[in-house]
Amino acid sequence: MISATGAAAEEGQLEESGANERWWGWATPSPAPPIADDVRRAIRERLGFGADWVEDPVPPERATIAPSRVAIPRALAELLSDDPRDRALHTYGQSYRDLVRSLRGSFETAPDLVARPRTESDVERLLAWCSEERLAAIPFGGGTSVVGGVEPRVEGDYRGVVTIDLSRLARVRAVDRESLAACIEAGATGPKLEQQLRAHGLTLRFYPQSFERSTLGGWLATRAAGHFATFQQHIDELVESITAVTPAGLWQSRRLPGSGAGPSPDRWLLGSEGTLGVITHAWLRVRPRPRYRARASVAFGDLHAAASAVRSLLRAELEPANLRALDADEAYVTGALDERRALLVIGLESAVEQQEGELEQILDVCRASGGEIVDRGAQSGSAEGVWRSAFTAAPYLRDLLVRAGVLCETFETAITWERFGEFVERVRQTTRRAVEEVCGAGLVSCRITHFYPDGCAPYFTVLAPARQGDELRQWDEIKVAASEAILAAGGTITHHHAVGRDHREWYRRQRPVPFATALAAAKASIDPAGIMNPGALL
Ligand SMILES: Cc1cc2nc3c(=O)[nH]c(=O)nc-3n(C[C@H](O)[C@H](O)[C@H](O)COP(=O)(O)OP(=O)(O)OC[C@H]3O[C@@H](n4cnc5c(N)ncnc54)[C@H](O)[C@@H]3O)c2cc1C
């Protein structure tokens, strides 16, 4: 396996590391530590290619950041910053395009100011000022968007851009033990909210791969998906009520376990990507911390055989908390298997009962579907354990890969089972062709991250040799080819990465026209000055 220094610990035990010293990428400080020769050799060996150069991020003092166009008003002075480094760190998310541009110190689209509200009334004051002064307002959680969701790429006659960073709103405000729910502020990152819930013996158990840095507000605004692969995949399922500050006033739903009273106000905010208002807090369903776990890995001939085994599991009403089906390339590149075979990673958990019996039933179904049990249990060096470490270390490893000249990006979608086989091959082949044409070589691997009774979410990773200085064009060409293939074959442009600015064109073609008209009308009535994250989603 290619390992990254600073790799995060097991899910749920992650602490935020170095967020303050970070200058570039996921966790790279300035000056960046050198990349050892043996790491570069390992990259070349696993991938079959590698660049003969390594690039260090341009340090803050040499970065290009346009001067701020907006003066800080005295009444809001304690909430606003025009510090160039602060503005640079709020310019981008974490897509490959973002990493390349920030690596080169290019922050031409930096926000003019960064705001850090401490209360809902601070958010109200900020939005009122932005509306009056015609300033675009971009809510910012952890800045882990991979679709241009937080980048101030704003067209129109705005006088400037204010990025609203929610990091000071990060408390668990209340816990209702009777209903098993918690009121959590939007700026809480995964580790921050889990740390506070742990004091009550509770957990949200929502683990996107970006858990360490992404926030509750970001999860709600993008309809993020966590590690639960078979049941409560999206954050949507955990929501009791959401509160947001909009330019038209406070949007607060009632706390209810369910309601049939018309369209759901929460569903309007879920996936709104900062275009309607700033989500400030929400009531979420929480659960007792799991005490029992069981794990196993099963090898299959290919991804389709693994997917077919999962279909059999679901039909037998076996729904493990975690399931990831990796194709042969992904199992090999992550080091989970030493030969090229597909791998199904299985994880069960419960707060109330041992999981060994259910695991046994699951393994019986896998065997009957042609699977070979590779290991079970959490022993070190197991395929499941190696894959899990690679999964949590991936954002750190990505910093190394990008600096070492590897084009490294992912995209994801969803499709119903009856089209699954043809769909995956079509998207994979089209993307592979584009990678070969644009980069000359490279890998396109696929894993399935979420499973439904009627379909699943295929997730693709592209690793290819980058041409220094030409990376953005290289990725843009591959991305267009992949996105066109997804849409043509009937998939969605995103299962959980959201629309942002980068997927807008394909989202526009995917959604029904009357729905688009309704969305635009809703936005115009709630945000008449059009200040909320212009250019994202709509
Ligand atoms: C390494 C890596 C792994 C990832 N893994 C996953 C994964 O497993 N599952 C998944 O779903 N996604 C994943 N993502 C994508 C990303 O983490 C999610 O989209 C996440 O929900 C973004 O949260 P954030 O707090 O970082 O939001 P940001 O990136 O700060 O913002 C994202 C969008 O939400 C809006 N927004 C943020 N906060 C608020 C708020 N309080 N009110 C209103 N709007 C707001 C922003 O304006 C923007 O449009 C991954 C990203 C990376 C880099």
Task: Please tell me the distance between residue 441's alpha carbon and the centre of ligand 1 in angstroms.
Answer: 31
pLDDT mean over 492-500: 98
33 is annotated as contributing to ligand binding: no
pLDDT mean over 288-298: 96
Asked which of 43-57, 173-187, 498-512 is least confident by mean pLDDT, the reply is 43-57
398 is annotated as contributing to ligand binding: yes
Specify whether the CB–CB gap between 270 and 239 falls below 8 A: yes
**Nearest alpha carbon, ligand 1 atom 22:** 218
522 Cβ neighbours under 8 A, 6+ residues apart: 268, 276
Percentage of the residues of the chain whose pLDDT score is greater than 70: 96
Nearest atom of ligand 1 to the alpha carbon of 227:
8
Domains by residue range for the chain, with CATH: 172-288 (3.30.465.10), 292-488 (3.40.462.40)
514 Cβ neighbours under 8 A, 6+ residues apart: none
Q: Is residue 19 predicted with pLDDT exceeding 90?
A: no
385 is annotated as contributing to ligand binding: no
Percentage of the residues of the chain whose pLDDT score is greater than 90: 91
Question: How big is the chain, counted in residues?
Answer: 538
Mean pLDDT rounded to a whole number for the chain: 94
pLDDT mean over 254-264: 96
Nearest atom of ligand 1 to the alpha carbon of 186:
41
pLDDT digits (tens, 9 = 90+) for 414-453: 999 999 999 999 999 999 999 999 999 999 999 999 999 9
Task: Please tell me the distance between residue 246's alpha carbon and the centre of ligand 1 in angstroms.
Answer: 19
275 is annotated as contributing to ligand binding: yes
Task: Please tell me the distance between residue 150's alpha carbon and the centre of ligand 1 in angstroms.
Answer: 9
**Nearest alpha carbon, ligand 1 atom 28:** 143
Task: Please tell me the distance between residue 219's alpha carbon and the centre of ligand 1 in angstroms.
Answer: 6
Pocket of ligand 1 (CB under 6 A): 93-94, 138-146, 149-150, 166, 186, 208-210, 214-215, 217-219, 221-222, 224-225, 273-274, 278-279, 395, 496-498, 533, 536
| CA distances for 62 relative to 4, 26, 65, 84, 105, angstroms | 27, 20, 9, 11, 7
Q: Which amino acid is at 423?
A: F
Q: Is residue 379 predicted with pLDDT exceeding 80?
A: no
Looking up tokens 């688009």 gives 516
145 is annotated as contributing to ligand binding: yes
Instruction: Report how far residue 504's alpha carbon sits from residue 378's, in angstroms, rounded to the nearest whole number.
Output: 42
Nearest atom of ligand 1 to the alpha carbon of 219:
21
Q: How confident is the model at residue 20 (pLDDT cuts 50, 70, 90)?
A: low
Q: Is residue 8 predicted with pLDDT exceeding 90?
A: no
Tokens of residue 92, six digits: 């981008």
The answer to whether residue 332 is catalytic is no
Closest to 401 (Cα-Cα) out of 311, 461, 486, 341: 461
H helix and E strand count, the chain: 15, 23
Task: Please tell me the distance between residue 145's alpha carbon and the centre of ligand 1 in angstroms.
Answer: 5
pLDDT of residue 51: 84
Looking at 92, 96, 207, 459, which residue is catalytic?
459
φ/ψ of residue 421, rounded to 5: -60, -55
**Nearest alpha carbon, ligand 1 atom 50:** 210
Q: Is residue 16 predicted with pLDDT exceeding 50?
A: no
Q: How confident is the model at residue 381 (pLDDT cuts 50, 70, 90)?
A: confident
301 Cβ neighbours under 8 A, 6+ residues apart: 341, 342, 370
Q: How confident is the model at residue 50 (pLDDT cuts 50, 70, 90)?
A: confident
Which of 210, 235, 391 best tests ligand 1's pocket when mutated (most atoms within 8 Å of CB)? 210
Nearest atom of ligand 1 to the alpha carbon of 145:
29
Which of 144, 161, 162 best tests ligand 1's pocket when mutated (most atoms within 8 Å of CB)? 144
Task: Please tell me the distance between residue 422's alpha carbon and the centre of ligand 1 in angstroms.
Answer: 30
72 is annotated as contributing to ligand binding: no
pLDDT digits (tens, 9 = 90+) for 389-423: 999 999 999 999 999 999 999 999 999 999 999 99
pLDDT digits (tens, 9 = 90+) for 479-491: 999 999 999 999 9
Q: Is residue 478 predicted with pLDDT exceeding 90?
A: yes
**Nearest alpha carbon, ligand 1 atom 52:** 210
Q: Which amino acid is at 478?
A: I
pLDDT mean over 250-256: 97
Which of 123, 140, 447 best tests ligand 1's pocket when mutated (most atoms within 8 Å of CB)? 140
Nearest atom of ligand 1 to the alpha carbon of 139:
47
Q: Is residue 69 predicted with pLDDT exceeding 50?
A: yes
**Nearest alpha carbon, ligand 1 atom 27:** 218
Task: Please tell me the distance between residue 143's alpha carbon and the centre of ligand 1 in angstroms.
Answer: 7
pLDDT of residue 1: 39
Residue 194 burial (10 A CB sphere; 0-12, 13-18, 19+): buried
Task: Please tell me the distance between residue 341's alpha carbon and the centre of ligand 1 in angstroms.
Answer: 32
278 is annotated as contributing to ligand binding: yes
Cis peptide before 31 (omega within 30 of 0): yes
409 is annotated as contributing to ligand binding: no
